Amino acid sequence: MTTKDYQTKSPILVFLSYFKKHKGLFFLDILCAVGISAVDLIFPLVTRKALYEMLPERLFHTFFVVMAVMVVCYIIRAALQYIVTYYGHTFGIRVEADIRKDLFRHMQELGFDFYDRNRVGLLMSRLTGDLNEITELAHHGPEDLLTSGVTIIGALIVLSTIEWRLALIVGLMIPIFIAIVMLMRRRRGAAAAGMKQKMAHINAEIESSLSGIRTAKAFANEDVEFARFSSANEEFKGSKREFHKAMGVFMCSMEFFLSILNVLVIGVGGYMIMKNQMDYRDVLTFTLYIASFVNPMRKLASFSELFANGFAGLNRFVTLMGTEPTLEDAPDAKTLQNVRGEIRVEDVVFAYNGNLDVLHGVSLNVAPGETVAIVGPSGGGKSTLCQLIPRFYDVSSGAIYIDGQDVRSVTQESLHKNIGMVQQDVFLFADTIFENIRYGNPNATKEEVIEAAKKAEIYEDILAMPQGFDTYVGERGTLLSGGQKQRVAIARVFLKNPPILILDEATSALDSVTEAKIQRAFDALAKGRTTLIIAHRLSTIRAAHRIISVADGVITECGTHQELLEAGGLYAELYKTQNALALEALQ
């Protein structure tokens, strides 16, 4: 289904669409559940037959044969129950897996701006807790609804053949029960939705606190984090309390109804016995059927709770799936191929979330194979400019071209494959060093990974580790030093081997000796490639063909190292300041 389908179709239709792929399992589950209901309906009839005919007429042989048949029926019922439990849950899990797959794929399609606005813990709640509830609804919902209906209707039909007046009284009680269920459902649904929101909030707080546990310990702020968690936990308790209140009202109403139903049958049946209008054996049959009513009624009650929880999660799923990606490929988007590396930025204006402009009419031409360094004060717009080139965000106005093609006219996948980025904030996956390097090219051989590590000056460090390339890097690479993390990220780019490089403070965490080695490797890699280097340490960009200064969202200067020094502008000021600080440190 498309995003538009999720926006226009009802959540129930969206939900049922996931049944199609597994309809064989679904119908097997339903068929077996109906078989269980059929066995449950037979027993009271057999009991009535035994009391009316077999025992009074001393048909003992027939009686025991019928009892043996009932044993066989209950053996079959047990087998059917196994199928319902095992294959029914298998069906639910497969539906959940399909929903989770579609949701994760959709979340991959959403742009950086979506993740700027949403916390990871909240999204994790959508992928886990919400979908668990949907699974239960997928498995038990249709099954409980159908089997309860079959059992209740079947029992009423049988009872009407015994004593239609008493059956009518029992039948009239069913709509009252359904009315109670429907009346309570709305309140429980609202309480369930609130509980889901609070659960997502507490998940977000846990994710944030655990991710920042080192910072919390460094500032001795464990109490602050615990207080924040406790606040979210109290909110969750409150929402759970409201849900349980609604459930309590529903359960007490249901239990009263089921109890009064037995009293009603015995009372009316007893009165009819007194009037010689009914036999006590028929009243006994009625009570057995009322007992068989109880289980379906409880299932309907459970379905109500299941529906309230599952539908709350389903609504959140559909809402997220209906979120339009702000960045989408054009309908006629082309694949970016044979990239030479020419970059042209024309009068670009950009603002995050449509607020205050970060870039103001920026224009820049970069020739194929040229190395351009971008310098300037923090917050001036350097990183923003470089994030617009691979189209992580769309320009507010103006355009960016690669080899004469507007980046909005080519597929994002081909654009990203042809641009390699090393950022200051390095992210490593909780895996081995080998897999983190090979992330740059998942099809790379071991020899290619080793060669990339050598070029990134990390090979010797890896060999010194206990497990070598199989060393686990920890969550976000916490078991490596800052310089090692950055060199692993650099090795990824060497392995990717893209025609365009963007290095955003790529050597900021390296010592001077390693930085010099990396710089030589970068110089070799940059030959024949277009390279943009964002740097605060100006010593790393002397070899750039051109240097541009960016401040307050505009390009203030452009030229070679020597030209900008002679111009005496922003670059010259930054250069002199850094030299003065270095000299002061040496003294």
380 or 516: whose pLDDT is higher?
Answer: 380
Per-position DSSP letters for 140-179, written without gaps between them: HHHHHHHHHHHHHHHHHHHHHHH-HHHHHHHHHHHHHHHH
Query: Is it the case that residue 6 has pLDDT exceeding 90?
Result: no
Same fold: 3-321 with 340-418+530-587? no
pLDDT at 39: 84
pLDDT at 585: 47
What is the separation of C-alpha 45 from the centre of its chain, rounded to a whole number of angstroms? Answer: 51
- Indicate the residue type of 57: E
Query: Is it the case that residue 401 has pLDDT exceeding 90?
Result: yes
Res. 343 pLDDT band, cuts 50 70 90: very high
CA distance linking residue 349 with residue 476, whole number of Å: 34
Query: Is it the case that residue 59 has pLDDT exceeding 60?
Result: yes
Q: DSSP label at 441? A: -
71 or 194: whose pLDDT is higher?
Answer: 71
- Paired tokens of 469: 């390339």
Residue 493's closest CA among 540, 548, 531, 528? 531
pLDDT at 465: 86
Are 399 and 405 in contact, with CB atoms under 8 Å apart?
no
Cut 0.85: pTM above it = no
Q: pLDDT tens, 304-326? A: 777 777 777 788 888 888 888 88
Q: pLDDT tens, 186-203? A: 666 666 666 666 766 676
What's the mean pLDDT in 489-511? 80
What mean pLDDT is reported for the chain? 80
pLDDT cut 90: percent of the chain above it: 3
Domain boundaries, the chain: 3-321, 340-418+530-587
What's the mean pLDDT in 356-375? 88
What CATH homologous superfamily does 340-418+530-587 map to?
P-loop containing nucleotide triphosphate hydrolases (3.40.50.300)
Residue 509's closest CA among 413, 394, 395, 422? 422
Q: Which of 6-15, 47-56, 137-146 has the highest average model confidence (pLDDT)?
A: 6-15
Q: pLDDT tens, 217-270? A: 666 667 877 787 777 777 777 767 777 777 777 777 777 777 777 787 788 778
pLDDT at 90: 86
- Topology (CATH) of 3-321: ABC transporter transmembrane region fold (1.20.1560)
What's the mean pLDDT in 374-379? 83
pLDDT at 187: 66
Residue 385's closest CA among 417, 414, 421? 421
Residue 284: CB atoms within 10 A of its CB come to 15
E strands, 239-356, are: 343-351
Q: pLDDT tens, 432-485? A: 889 888 888 888 888 989 988 888 888 888 888 888 888 888 777 778 877 788
Query: Is it the case that residue 122 has pLDDT exceeding 80?
Result: no
